[in-house]
Chain A
Amino acid sequence: MAALGGPAIACIGIIGKQDNPLHMSLFPPHNNAAGAYLEFSFLLNASLDIFDLRARDKNRVDQDLGLLHAMDERLSVWGWETGTGTRFAIVLDMYGRSGGEGEASGLGVKEGELRPAFRALQTAYIGLLRNPFYIPDEHTVAAGGVQIKAKGFIKEVERIGMAWKPGITTL
């Protein structure tokens, strides 16, 4: 398989429990595309209802919410909700990093394959919360809903988004 082939992470979103956006990172080839930021914001926004639905599912056993919805043959949104209601969303691009030209690898991504990425995100988020200078209350809707600015955290999110590929077990 070509190095660029295979599904890749297109976007990682961190969403607070009041549906307030905390952070969003875009990855190649989307990070430089015009209008991509808005487009992915809409996409994440559209997945919030499904988050709610899944999270209320009584049979849910863990924080992994699996596939939330598939936009088209290219993009799909996957979710994870922590115990405090903070949500992580990952948008997968089946065309991978090469960005199209009919290069869909045809390889599906199985439930659970994104788990290492979600776990790494959760670890990064815990690290962020442990920073005494990070004030979670600053990010609530009432306080104006500013996004996360911590450089270390953002760098880690970017590392996770770039490093994940199907079949990877640790990140």
Chain B
Amino acid sequence: MAAAKAARVGEEVWKTRIDKVNAELVTLTYGTVVAQLCNDYDSNYVEVNKQLDKMGYNIGMRLIEDYFAKSGSQRCANFKETAEAISKIGFKIFLNITPVVSNWSPDGKQFTLTFEENPLADFVELPDDGKAQDELWFSNILTGILRGALEMVQMQIEAHFTSDVLRGDETTEMRVTLLRYMDDELPPDDE
């Protein structure tokens, strides 16, 4: 129900309110950034993952404003609704994909996003250095984006990739965990 509504909103916004840009430009730009990071950090992929996440975080905290402006959606009632909004509105309007939400944990605080397509990784083949396949999460910027965006709406989450077709896995999946809702923190010395 919430899912259907989110899908409708996402579709509508994508069609009417989004400026489109050539997909190759995006893919090549992102790919170059990752390749350059790998170079700069001397193939220390753990560090590259971290940097990508950090970059994503900075994108996410800005992007969320645009998300609300374009989608006109309101605060989500619960985390399930948030998940649907991320998949069907967020990913839809910014990347034109709708990753599948599944695998909820019993407490409703963890879910998996399955990416059937991933525009960031088109044509990518990981370096054949015996390390990248095990250590690099090529699209790790996405985890940071989610973390940054949700933090701006008082949700502290943790997100990480659990599989990636680039590594030879069957699917590309990200696990998202809600850590806590942050109360609007009072500014210090506000007595």
Which A residues contact B (CB, under 8 angstroms)? 127-128, 130-134, 149-152
Q: Is B124 an interface residue (CB 8 A)?
A: yes
The reply to whether the CB of B177 lies closer than 8 angstroms to some CB of chain A is no
Instruction: In the A-B complex, list the 9 residue pairs whose CB atoms are closest, starting with the nearest.
Output: A132-B31, A130-B123, A132-B35, A133-B127, A131-B125, A127-B123, A131-B123, A152-B125, A150-B125
Cα-based distance from A103 to B21 in the complex (angstroms): 54
Is B27 engaged at the interface, CB distance under 8 Å to the other chain? yes
> Can you list 11 A-B pairs with a CB-CB distance of less than 8 A?
A127-B123, A130-B27, A130-B31, A131-B124, A132-B31, A132-B35, A133-B31, A133-B35, A134-B125, A149-B128, A151-B128
> Do A132 and B28 have beta carbons less than 8 Å apart?
yes
Residues of A within 8 A of B154 (CB): none
When C-beta atoms are compared, the residue in chain B nearest to A134 turns out to be B125
Cβ distance A134 to chain B, nearest Cβ, rounded Å: 7
B29, closest chain A residue (CB): A132
Q: Which residues of B contact A150 (CB under 8 A)?
A: 125
Contacts of A130 in B (CB 8 A): 24, 27-28, 31, 122-123
Pick from B28, B122, B124: contact of A133, CB under 8 Å: B124
Roughly how many angstroms separate A117 CA and B168 CA in the complex, as a whole number? 28
Q: Report B-chain residues with C-beta under 8 Å of the C-beta of A128.
A: 123
> In the docked arrangement, what's the CA distance between A36 and B155, Å?
64
Query: Which A residues are CB-close (under 8 A) to B35?
Result: 132-133
Q: Are B31 and A131 in contact (CB under 8 A)?
A: yes
Inter-chain CA distance A151–B168, complex, in Å, is: 12
- The answer to whether A133 touches B125 (Cβ under 8 A) is yes
A133 CA to B27 CA in the complex, in Å? 12
On chain A, the residues within 8 Å of B127 by CB distance are 133
Are B124 and A132 in touch, CB under 8 angstroms? yes
Residue of A nearest to B28 (CB): A130
B window 14-33: CB within 8 A of A? 24, 27-28, 31-32
Judged by a CB distance under 8 angstroms, whether B100 is at the interface is: no
Smallest beta-carbon distance A127→chain B, Å = 5
Cα-based distance from A149 to B38 in the complex (angstroms): 19
| Smallest beta-carbon distance A142→chain B, Å | 19
CB-CB nearest in chain A for B38: A133
Contact B126 A133 (CB under 8 A): yes
Q: C-beta contact mask, B114-154 vs A, less than 8 Å → 1, else 0?
A: 00000000111111100000000000000000000000000
- With both chains docked as a complex, state the minimum distance between the C-beta of A80 and any C-beta of chain B, in angstroms: 21
- B contact residues around A151 at 8 Å (CB): 125, 128
CA gap between A132 and B124 in the complex, in Å: 7
**B34 contacts partner chain A, Cβ-Cβ < 8 Å:** yes
A152 to B123, CA, bound (A): 9
4 new A-B contacts, CB < 8 A, other than A132-B28, A149-B128, A150-B125, are A128-B123, A132-B32, A132-B34, A133-B35
Q: A133: nearest residue on chain B (CB-CB)?
A: B127
Complex formed: what's the CA distance from A127 to B127 in Å? 15
Measured CB to CB, the closest approach of chain B to A122, in angstroms, equals: 14
**How far, in angstroms, from A135 to B128 measured CA to CA in the complex?**
13
